C-alpha cells in the first residue's frame, strides 16, 4: 500500500526519501533516543545507518510502513507500524530531541493510529514502551492505548536489562 502524505498542525508525515539521510542522522544520533528504543536502533547513528534504513523502507517487500516526521521541510523523526500478522501491528516512533515537549508526537501518533485503523482488517495496534519512558507513556495513553502488562527485562540497552510495558489499542 502506498504511504500517503498527512498534513498535521505541527508536522507533515510523508514517505522517507534518500535525501532525508543527513537530517535523520543528525537527529537520530542521540543516546537519549537510543536508550528508549530497541538495540536494532544504532548508536552512534551514522549516515550509512540512515541510508541503509531508508533504502530498506523504500523496498516494497518490507512489512513495515514508515513515515518521516517533517518539520520545517526537514525529516526530524519517524513513526512506523510493523505488521505482526494480518490483523495487528506494532507502532514505534522517535523525534529529534530539540523538538520534544511541544505536543508533536501526541498529534503524530493519534494521526497514524487513525490512519492504520482505516484498514478494516487491522483490529489491534500495540506499543512496547520501556517502563522508564514517561514521555512515551503519556503520548500513547493520550492516543487511547491501554496498558496490558509488563515484560520483565525484555529489552537490553547499553548493557542494562530493561522492563517494558505492553500497550495496545484494540478495535
19 three-state secondary structure: helix
Which of 132, 134, 38 has its CA nearest to residue 80?
38
- Least Å distance, CB 60 to ligand COA, is 26
- Least Å distance, CB 119 to ligand COA, is 22
106 binds ligand COA (CB under 6 A): yes
Taking CB under 6 A as the criterion, the residue among 21, 24, 28, 33 binding ligand COA is 33
Asked if residues 69 and 77 have their Cβ atoms less than 8 Å apart, the reply is yes
136 binds ligand COA (CB under 6 A): yes
101 binds ligand COA (CB under 6 A): yes
- Least Å distance, CB 100 to ligand COA, is 4
- Give the residue with the Cβ less far from ligand COA, 100 or 161: 100
- Least Å distance, CB 2 to ligand COA, is 25
38 binds ligand COA (CB under 6 A): no
Distance CA 122, CA 9 (A): 26
Which helix H or strand E contains 168, and what residues bound it?
strand 160-170
Q: Is 161 exposed, middle or buried (0-12, 13-18, 19+ CB in 10 A)?
A: exposed
Which of 2, 22, 31 has its CA nearest to residue 158?
31
Q: Kindly indicate which of the ranges 1-9, 29-37, 49-57, 80-88 contains the residues binding ligand COA, using the contact rule CB under 6 A.
A: 29-37
134 binds ligand COA (CB under 6 A): yes
75 binds ligand COA (CB under 6 A): no
Q: H helices within the chain, ranges in order?
A: 21-28, 31-34, 47-58, 104-116, 134-142
Task: Report the interface residues with ligand COA, using CB under 6 A.
Answer: 33, 36-37, 93-95, 100-106, 127, 129, 133-136, 138-139
Amino acid at each position: 500500500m502506498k504511504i500517503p502524505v498527512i498534513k498535521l498542525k505541527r508536522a507533515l508525515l510523508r514517505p522517507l526519501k534518500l535525501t532525508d539521510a543527513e537530517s535523520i542522522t543528525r537527529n537520530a544520533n542521540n543516546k537519549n533516543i537510543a536508550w528508549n528504543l530497541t538495540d536494532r536502533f544504532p548508536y552512534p547513528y551514522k549516515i550509512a545507518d540512515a541510508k541503509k534504513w531508508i533504502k530498506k523502507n523504500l523496498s516494497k517487500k518490507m512489512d513495515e510502513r514508515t513515515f518521516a516526521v517533517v518539520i520545517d521541510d526537514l525529516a526530524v523523526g519517524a513513526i512506523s507500524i510493523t505488521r505482526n500478522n494480518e490483523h495487528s501491528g506494532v507502532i514505534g516512533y522517535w523525534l529529534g530531541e530539540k523538538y520534544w515537549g511541544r505536543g508533536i508526537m501526541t498529534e503524530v501518533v493519534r494521526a497514524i493510529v487513525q490512519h492504520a485503523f482505516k484498514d478494516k482488517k487491522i483490529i489491534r495496534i500495540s506499543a512496547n514502551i520501556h517502563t522508564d519512558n514517561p514521555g512515551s507513556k503519556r503520548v500513547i495513553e493520550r492516543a487511547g492505548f491501554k496498558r496490558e502488562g509488563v515484560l520483565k527485562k525484555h529489552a537490553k540497552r547499553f548493557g542494562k536489562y530493561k522492563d517494558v510495558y505492553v500497550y495496545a489499542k484494540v478495535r
